[in-house]
Chains A and B, each alone.
Chain A
Amino acid sequence: MAAKKAASGTLKLSPTMDLNEASALHAKLLSMRGGNIVIDASQVERLGVQCAQVLVAGARAWQADKKSYVVKQASDAFAKTMQLIGIDAEHLVAKEI
């Protein structure tokens, strides 16, 4: 596998994605702009709407940057909450086109 885009990082979401975490998540995403990103949602136990907002805005930003933005290993709580609040998986994905 030759040189694909090397600038790619993983962002591990914290278990408690509450009001406090929204700002931290926002800052982390801003700092990771420009490269591909894998968001590890495996540890998420609680997900608040404000963090979901940041994640959706992130996907849009990555799409605008034409970088890949992937959520992987979503925990049960993560998947259920996203489904409950009506945010489809499509809103959380950006492709490197």
Chain B
Amino acid sequence: MDMNEIKEIFFQECEEQLAELESGLLKLNDGDRDPETVNAVFRAVHSIKGGAGAFGLDDLVAFAHVFETTLDCVRSNKLEPNQDVLKVMLKSADVLADLTNAARDGGYVDESRSRALVKELEALANGEVPVASAEAPKAQPKPAVAAPTDDSGFQPIPFNFDGFDEDETPADAGQVYEISFKPRRDLYSKGNEAALLLRDLSRIGEMSINCDLESLPDLDKLDPEESYVSWMISLRTTRSEDEIRAVFEFAEWDCDLEVRAAEASPSGEELPMVPVPFDLSILNDDASAEAPAPSPTRDAAETPAAAAETATEASKMAAAAARVERKESAAATAAAAAASNTAAAAAGQTIRVDLDRVDRLINLVGELVINQAMLSQSVIENDTTGTSSINMGLEELQQLTREIQDSVMAIRAQPVKPVFQRMSRIVREVADMVGKSIRLVTEGENTEVDKTVIDKLAEPLTHMIRNAVDHGIETPEKREAAGKDPEGTIKLTAKHRSGRIVIELVDDGAGINRERVRQKAIDNDLIAADANLTDEEIDNLIFAPGFSTADKISDISGRGVGMDVVKRSIQALGGRISISSRPGQGSTFTMSLPLTLAVLDGMVVTVAGQTLVVPLTAIVETLQPEAAAVHSFGANQRLISIRNSFCPLVDVGRILNFRSTQANPVEGVALLVESEGGGQRALMVDAIQGQRQVVIKSLEANYTHVPGIAAATILGDGRVALILDVDAVVAASRGQSLKPEMSLAATG
């Protein structure tokens, strides 16, 4: 793993933390006062700040720092998280998200907004807390402020740990310091060790030491954990006094320490104290006299005592000590090493997998499904008996393949929660802009759907939410006048229904103004002035291309695009959308989407010699037209009567330009399809080959977008079949041409 990978992990983690932050703030907003909620919110910001600091993302650090400081005031009960405070916090969470995105891939950050929020956050922190604790946040968002440094204490200084080889400190240079060091009991109980401090001290200069054992009590009165010994140290070094003190950084509270520069002494003069070298020959002499078992290897212990006695340099002392006999202690480490295999990190319930890997697997399983179908087909063609064990085996293989496919698809399934969470920010921002007060209620956030669907869901959903806030919900004044709660409610729900995901967006606003919609449609030549439309048909006019009820195109509901764009995006996903509205009580948008974009249940049909797949979800029924039921209408239009109602008959071959003249309906099959809001159509095809699940291959990825065609697939016999875009075909039949730019499929 390298730093770039860790950075990627950091950004993934940021996403999680931001979600955590937002849901925590929303809980607080709902009156939750659990300290753990506040802590979780604080930790989220803190964690982002920590990681950002490690990667030098200064803007992010600076903003997170100010945010964190204010949150800390809430955490320590210095600041009451009322609605006003939370409003600022929620906005800050949004800016933090923007800054994170900007750091990740240079997204847009509204700097004036972030500056304004920094001021607001600081005001909150300063307004409520004593001056003393409010001085921390000084960071500004834009100028590259370094991560907050430790200005109250010590800045670690890098030490050279090369030890005795260090010749930066020649004997004739530097200043001699006299250091008195007396550790207290706490120094040891907190895990510090005087011996290590002395070691580090010896590394920054030439040291001689005098150990004071005066206060060491008798063995039986001794408390083994007490600190009895102290030291007087002479250190000749080129380092400053501060650097010497820095060695004791972790210990300075738990010891008495004095450091003072000794009188300047001529270079080369003896140090004030001459240490006595640790001469093990004394020990070993005694050992030879007294030890019950003579040491067989003690020949090696011939320490040149004379040399050691006069040695004053630490290096020489070390060398002498090193020459002392020592026993190899390799065996001792073996036992300890055995314990180390115990993995410390607990195994989690989830693993993280790179999406590319999952996609590859899904593609491969797709190939497997196709291959299995091809294999089945060729066996059937070559085996006329149809009862062989091969067939049974193939059936099992087919079953297994389907199961593998379902399991693999489940890997990519994800809850819609992140998308829903993003919506609460949209509601906040837009409501703020238009001066409305709106609450977003979400339900079924844990409903799962394929990640590819989720990714494409955000855009149309955002658009619809903006629309609901901007147009759906009335102003507080109007609502009050109508006897409603001045605060509007938008409810966003997700649920599974018959193999699809259904997302509902319900607002309690004014509902569709049908008079106005109708007038607008007439003005825009979408309908005839005297058209007789049902309420439902009028409501669905808002999805018509080029329709917009907003008196002026606002920045809020989109840049000149209306609900038709939403509808097309949903359709591009193989989904449907519809609206129902009750005047004065609000509107409900219902979207139904496939759970995956990878497979599709389709009806395989023939049109002008071509094989097409029609999504099964679009088909209401199939029928064999009788000559008497078909009526010509206008120049090229034909209708078919089905159970006493008329339905436009659409020749798919003609629409797709597979043929130049209309086919004879009686020779073909009609597929009754339901298109979104536009009622039913009967699609004429030449023949039905059967139903099967097909693996969707994107045409855009492999070829280019083809009008009226949603995607392609490979059939069991190896032929490529095109998947029909039913709604595009129906739209085309209404007289709209199949122009590439009409379809939004390419924008996904």
Contact = CB atoms under 8 A, between A and B. Distances in A.
Contacts of A18: 193
A84 B194 CA distance: 10
A80 B318 contact: yes
B332 interface: yes
Nearest to A57: B219
Interface string A46-72: 011110111011101100100010111
B278 interface: yes
Interface stretch (B319-327, B557-565, B670-678): B319-327
Given A49-B188, A54-B224, A86 B283 contact: no
A86 B317 CA distance: 11
A81 B581 CA distance: 85
A93 B224 CA distance: 19
Interface residues of B, number: 52
A60 B292 CA distance: 21
Contact of B278 (A33, A48, A49, A88): A88
Contact of B199 (A84, A87, A91, A93): A84
A86 B275 contact: yes
Given A22-B224, A54-B224, A61-B219, A89 B282 contact: yes
B222 A53 contact: yes
Interface stretch (B73-81, B225-233, B414-422, B455-463): B225-233
Interface in B205-237: 209-211, 213, 216-220, 222, 224-225, 227-229, 231
A58 B221 CA distance: 11
Q: Which of A10, A30, A49, A80 has the most CB of B within 10 A?
A: A49
Nearest to B327: A42
A80 B317 CA distance: 9
Nearest to B209: A86
Contacts of B366: none
Nearest to B290: A68
B407 interface: no
A97 to B, nearest CB: 12
A73 B113 CA distance: 72
A80 to B, nearest CB: 5
A56 B217 CA distance: 10
B216 A83 contact: no
A79 B332 contact: no
A84 B210 CA distance: 10
Contact of B195 (A23, A75, A85): A85
B583 to A, nearest CB: 80
A68 B286 contact: yes
Given A49-B183, A57-B219, A72-B283, A79 B290 contact: no
B84 to A, nearest CB: 53
B324 A79 contact: yes
Contacts of B211: 85-87
B290 A36 contact: yes
A48 B188 contact: yes
B324 A70 contact: no
A42 B329 contact: yes
Contact of B279 (A26, A33, A68, A88): A88
A11 interface: no
B224 A83 contact: no
B292 A8 contact: yes
Contacts of B275: 86
B137 interface: no
Contact of A92 (B189, B276, B283, B317): B283
B343 interface: no
B295 interface: yes
Contact of B231 (A22, A45, A86): A86
B276 A88 contact: yes
A36 B290 CA distance: 9
A34 to B, nearest CB: 12
A38 B287 contact: yes
Nearest to A44: B329
A56 B195 contact: no
B194 A43 contact: no
Contacts of A48: 188, 193-195
Contacts of B332: 15, 43, 45
Contacts of B213: 56, 87, 91
Contacts of A52: 195, 229
A49 B193 contact: yes
A89 B279 contact: yes
B305 to A, nearest CB: 11
B290 to A, nearest CB: 5
Contacts of B318: 80, 83
A52 B325 CA distance: 20
B326 A85 contact: no
A18 B189 CA distance: 10
B198 interface: yes
B571 interface: no
A79 B286 CA distance: 16
A79 B209 contact: no
A70 B290 CA distance: 8
Given A73-B326, A83-B318, A53 B283 contact: no
Q: Which 3 A-B pairs have the closest CB atoms?
A: A86-B211, A83-B278, A42-B327
Given A43-B329, A70-B291, A79-B324, 12 more contacts: A38-B287, A43-B332, A48-B188, A50-B188, A50-B227, A56-B216, A57-B218, A57-B219, A58-B219, A72-B291, A74-B326, A88-B278
13 contacts: A43-B332, A48-B194, A50-B188, A50-B224, A57-B216, A72-B283, A73-B325, A73-B327, A75-B327, A83-B277, A83-B278, A84-B198, A85-B231
